[in-house]
Structure 1
């Protein structure tokens, strides 16, 4: 037979809208009990109903056949079924089986004339709640009423307990905290919610099997501490400890464990309950606060903390050192203790207005130490607000800039006396300093410039290279230098621009108009000499060749000497051209692979001087850095070695050696010693003069190119006779 489910199993609790959502109110045991009595003997059912209703407030719903049970359970809230064994179309055991399929917990009492020996064992195996044999006296009704009352009351209590337990579990699963209950000996786990798994990294199933496995998830350094806490709980003492857990996450989780033994009326521990809270974030905040305090305590900057009335609550050691006051002397007092009298009341009112408006104040203060010495303080004061946004404290960080101010004043005094022109502007282009010489050159006085916007005073500089370069340094904070003509003054200036610590720039300049005039004259003279000297010498040389070809004896030899001297003068003019070009160019340093670099030069020299032999000894893959025209220096040295050789078939040795820091190129010849004057030119001990021949000009070229390559020159004589010139460049 099929039995439909009813709401009977949940009628022991009622919802109360006055309680918080999710909570229910447990009612007192209902006075009325609804019983479904299934028996084919209607008279017996009526008699039983009358007695139970009068004596026990038990309302009986009669049913004569098992099929009637379906309708009754669907339409009524039944607390208990009382059934006979013998009934039409079946028996009580079969009815019991059908009921248990849909209502496994509904109390079911067999009330039958059958003896226990006949059916009790089978009934019990099928889940009967109680068994009662019918009698002939009214005592059977009293016994039945008591049995019904007991099983229903027990069932209702079980329902209440079950629903309360369900409520507890549901609410426990909604919290991130771990709730647990242990037996008094801590060996049996009674309850724990799922938050335990995430916090400890251990499944609740494993914890159920081995309640002390949580010690495995405890940090090794904390286990003894936790074990001692467990022992205190076993001894009936409460605990409140903190420790690290979760080995799967390197024990980075911190927990607070609070546990309490629960005692009964006999003062015996019945269970141990506990709450575990994840305090990892709290620990991180505490650590951050600790680190912050350590930083504040160890910083060299004075730091203090006040309430909203300016009463000092905390100062760090740097504050004590800077002001000369100890913490005990200033805590509880206002900042007036530091005032020097240099600022009027309106100055401090402005500070207070800024702070109380929730803004940060930055500025300089002239304060007074305990010993009376005045100090300049660069200070930042910020308001601290509570959760409502109200200002309740102020925090300040200071810098003692007294020495810096003194140095700045001395620097200004030095700058004002400098022969170079100097002026400075801040980040807003306000002029803050100008030297005396700059005032003279620029035609503006200090009073006219200081505090003014630079572009308002020098509007004609806008749109020029000066503005472009100044703004570039202001933006990039990278220094620069340039030479430029200023149209308003019709003067040339060599300018160097540097970023300042205050966000502005410093400009150093020299009037180089006369130098530029000399350079222009030099360029003009160079062009004239190149053109006229070369042309005139070529004419002289041509005429000498004609005389040589048409004359005999001494006249021809004299003409040949004129040709040779002409060639020397042409070569000298070429060297002069190369040297002037190099001097006027911006130096450029390039990377050089030494062996192919020298191989190209050797090939060129062998072509120019076929009677000479050049030996090159240079390992592969040696690299250096040198001037882009450094090959001219090597060619000059090799040419001189060949020209001045004592042999008609000169041999020149070129050897390259390298170290981790240097690359040296040595050129060895068999020529006579280099004259002292030319040595001095090569080693920069003197310049070539008009009293000496043009060889010094070529050696000047070698010296300049080596210097521009960040190299050096060494000169020695070799044992076999000859010169050894070594050029050393950076590796």
Structure 2
């Protein structure tokens, strides 16, 4: 039987495998290089030039010393040496796995066989897999892999964060076991109808079970990869959307509350965006205009709902608000889509959101309020007119009767005339109050110091025997001069007209603004407002058993309230009455 040529067999195997083989002596000199077609591109030098050279000539010092150490270890121990190394080959760094073993002992010199396998691509694949693992561990989304029956075959590291289970704890279980019973059929149908497709599916929201038995709202999206050799099923990515779902529920509740509030208050909201030139209406506003086919209107369409007599002022207010930011509140009539005429209060203000200027506001049905207001105005006007006429006649007849009355009856005549005079004064005061209330309460800033000085000068002239002391501060309050003047004229009149002291005195103090409020205090040394009057003014209402004696202090209280202010009153018999009024303060620009 012929002897087996082991070297021939070795060379044959080497030439059929994608490896390199070198024969190196104890000094590190290359004696032979066995290469093949697979490995030509991995040689660090042409075989014809490398044979006879040492590792010190072919490699860098550090690399050569490492190879020399492996050669020594293989020769001394007879044990195969395994090691990895890298070499720059044709402009690219390649990774190798090396094996060294001593050659047969009957050779004339010590030699090792050095087999090298290029593992560059394997290393790159492993590195890519490691990167994928790190990525899966770092993302918040849970990644699951299931087979085509939706049984879990893989779980990412996000599972403990999302559900509380350990990674891999659910592997082998059907994913539907961890879906809320109310959502199971929906999720099953969603995934099963996608299994015949390929690629990503539409996301679906449902509740997933936590390890502690509670539920978490998640959004899942599947990618069907049945034909992928490494997957063979479905990749499902899920993330926690509990905050989004709660926010959505909250917005729905708020929307429902808003709808109910709009219906109860007969009002609605609107928003105008100049960039789209459209007005967006809430459902409440739609109901007021009696339209149902659109939530958005062109701006001219919106203006056309207003009565032709009111359109100009609405358009002007809109334009002014858009250009200068001045808000508006206007009572106007509209003609609804069904032809009904209504009174509405339209308010608007300018704001900026994400760099986009817009107008927002509210429209409220005030038809009933306007009707009551008009009826009261007519009754008020008729009563004042008739009252003045009748009182004029009473005064005239009283004078005529007085000529024929005996002396002992003159006192009754005087009382009749005095009562008529008081009623006429009350009618005039009511007229002045009605005029003031007809104005917009806040038209701009009012400088208080010059206004107070003017009022004090008028009452010094009207009541020359009185002493009027002032301590004024240069402050401003938002309002209108007519209303503020009427407030303090009434307080001065009340303080001086009913003061029975020998030296009637009024002290007016304007205090420096504090906490965005300016305080104005007016005190007198008169007999003091009665406890009944104080209680009625402070409570803001009258009853059949408890009412004030005139309209003047009511006028003051109402006007202060309409200016967003507050009025307090204190009085004693021996120290007089003090009214303290607080109004919003406005800084000087």
> RCO higher in 1 or 2 (8 Å CA, sep ≥ 6)?
2
- Higher Cα Rg: structure 1 or 2? 1
Give the TM-score, by structure 1 length.
0.41
Give the TM-score, by structure 2 length.
0.50
